[in-house]
Amino acid sequence: MSPIETVDLLVTGARQLVTLRGEGEPSPRAGRGMSELGIIRDGAFAAKDGRIVRVGSTEEVSRQVRLAPGGEAVDASGRVVTPGFVDAHTHAVFEGSRPQEFEARLQGSSYQEIAAQGGGIRSSVRAFRAATTEQLKETALERLDRMLELGSTTVEIKSGYGLSLDDELRALEVARELDGAHPVDVIPTFLGAHEIPEEFASRRDEYVALVAEEMVPEVSRRELALFCDVFCEEGVFTVEESERVLVSAKRHGLGLKIHAEEFTRSGGAALAARLGATSAEHLLEVNEDDIAAMREAGVVAVLLPGVSFSLGLSKYAPARTMIEMGLPVALATDCNPGSSMTESMQMIVTLACVEMRMTAAEALAASTSNAAFAVGLGMECGSLEAGKRADALVLNMEDYRELPYHYGVSNVQHVIKNGRLVVRSGLRVRS
C-alpha cells in the first residue's frame, strides 16, 4: 500500500468522471478511440501543487489521500466532471467588433466581397494598430474571463491583426502578458501571414519576404511564440508563399500550423503534411487524399464549425470522413471579430454534433485531449490523469451527452485550473 498523500484539492462523488485517460504511447485519439472516454462512475480525483496525483473511484481516492488544512474540497455529487476545454484556435487579441459585416452577410454579401471592400481582416488591422497596448490587454482579459467561465482552461491565441513587425510583436507580447496575468494558459502563435496589409497591396512579394525573413526570426529570437501559422487560401496566401513562411518558421524552431482549405481547395492540407505541421485548421474543402496525407504525417485536424455557422454557410468540414479514416479531429472556437464571435466551446460542441454529426463523446475528446495535442500540450493537459495539470470542469448535468443537447446556456458549474477553483457556480472567483 502506498502511504497516504496530503493533497490541496479533492473532487469527489462525480456521477461520471470523464478522464480521457490514454493507453500506451501518448497520442491524439483517432477513429473509434475518439469515443473511449475512460468514464469512472462515482469518480474522484486529487491534486497537489496544481497537478493531479490520484484518479479513481471516490472510495479509492478518499482512502489514498488526506486534504491539507485550507485545501479545497469540491463535492461533485450527481454531476459530470471532465477535463477543462482546450480552445486550440483563437484570435482573441483584437480590438473593435464587426456586427455590420455580420448583418451585410445575412443580406447576401459574402465574406470575400466584404474583405474586397476594405472590411474583413483589414478593418480589424486598422482598429488593432490604433489601439494602445493597455486597451488590447484589457479587452482580451475580459474575453479570457468569459472563456474561463465557459470552461476553457487553455487557449491558443494567434497574432495577425498587426501585420507590421512592431504590431505583430505587440500582439504576441500582449498574449504573453495575458498568460501571466490570467489563470488560463495561453499558447501564442505568430500569424503575420494572416492577410496582405493595405500598404503592401501592390507589393505582396515584399510582404511575404518581410514575414519570412524578418518577422519570423525576430519572433523566434524573443521567444514570443510556440507556433507559426499562415492563412493559405485563394486571395490570401498561395501555397508557395505559405511554404516560404513555414519553412523559415521551422528553421527557427517554431511549430507549424496552417489555415487550410477553408473556402477553396488550395493545397494547404498537403503542405501541412509535407512539412510535418502540428495541425491544419478549417479544412472544409479537403478530399480523401488530403485526409490520408495528414493522417500519415501525424497532423491534427482542427475543425471550426462556428465559422460556417456564423457566416451562414451550409457547408462544414467532413468530420465523419476524417474520423472514419483515422485522422485525429480537434475542435476550437476560432474566436475572432469577423467570422466567429464566440468564446464558447460548449456552443462549438453542439455545432460539431448537429452540423458535423460527431457524437457527444467524439466532440468531448476533440475539445479536450485532441485539442491539447493540437497545441503541443498532449502530455500536459486535456485528460484527468496523474501527472497532468489539474484542469477540470464540474458540469451541471448527470450524463455527458447533455453537453451538446442542452445548448445556448452554460452548463459549467465550477472550473478548476491548476488545482484551484477559479469559477464557482458559474462566476469567476477573484483571489
Binding site for Zn ion (CB under 5 A): 334
- Which of residues 334 and 391 has its CB atom nearest to Zn ion in the complex? 334
In the chain, count H helices and then E strands: 17, 17
| Shortest CB 251 distance to Zn ion, Å | 24
- Which of residues 45 and 227 has its CB atom nearest to Zn ion in the complex? 227
- Which of residues 88 and 293 has its CB atom nearest to Zn ion in the complex? 88
- Which of residues 195 and 334 has its CB atom nearest to Zn ion in the complex? 334
CA–CA gap between residue 128 and residue 95 (Å, rounded):
5
CA–CA gap between residue 254 and residue 216 (Å, rounded):
9
| Shortest CB 334 distance to Zn ion, Å | 5
- Which of residues 334 and 343 has its CB atom nearest to Zn ion in the complex? 334
Which positions ≥6 away from 415 have C-beta within 8 Å? 84, 148, 149, 151, 153, 392, 393, 394, 421, 422, 423
**In which order are the strands placed within the sheet that holds 227-230?**
85-87, 152-158, 185-193, 227-230, 255-260, 279-282, 300-303, 329-331
CA–CA gap between residue 119 and residue 198 (Å, rounded):
11
Fill in the DSSP letter of residue 380. Answer: T
CA–CA gap between residue 96 and residue 119 (Å, rounded):
12
CA dihedral over 381, 333, 217, 134, signed as positive or negative: negative
CA–CA gap between residue 333 and residue 310 (Å, rounded):
11
| Shortest CB 120 distance to Zn ion, Å | 12
- Which of residues 233 and 334 has its CB atom nearest to Zn ion in the complex? 334
- Which of residues 333 and 411 has its CB atom nearest to Zn ion in the complex? 333
| Shortest CB 254 distance to Zn ion, Å | 17
3-state SS track over 125-157: HHHHHHCCHHHHHHHHHHHHHHHHHCCEEEEEE
| Shortest CB 89 distance to Zn ion, Å | 6
**Hey, what's the torsion of the CAs at 65, 66, 71, 77, to 10 degrees?**
60
- Which of residues 53 and 92 has its CB atom nearest to Zn ion in the complex? 92
Alpha helices in 186-299 (DSSP H): 204-209, 216-221, 239-251, 268-275, 288-297
| Shortest CB 229 distance to Zn ion, Å | 8
User: In 10 A of CB 341, how many CB atoms?
Assistant: 16
The residue nearest Zn ion at its CB is 334
| Shortest CB 231 distance to Zn ion, Å | 7
Q: State the helix-helix crossing angle for 288-297 and 268-275, rounded to 10 degrees.
A: 20
Grid coordinates belonging to 301: 485536424
| Shortest CB 263 distance to Zn ion, Å | 12
The answer to whether the CB of 30 falls within 8 A of the CB of 24 is no
- Which of residues 136 and 230 has its CB atom nearest to Zn ion in the complex? 230
| Shortest CB 393 distance to Zn ion, Å | 24
Identify any residues that bridge with 6 across adjacent strands, giving them in sequence order. 66
Helix %, strand %, coil % of the chain (to 5)? 40, 25, 35
- Which of residues 79 and 158 has its CB atom nearest to Zn ion in the complex? 158
- Which of residues 136 and 423 has its CB atom nearest to Zn ion in the complex? 136
| Shortest CB 281 distance to Zn ion, Å | 7
| Shortest CB 76 distance to Zn ion, Å | 34
The answer to whether the CB of 272 falls within 8 A of the CB of 260 is yes
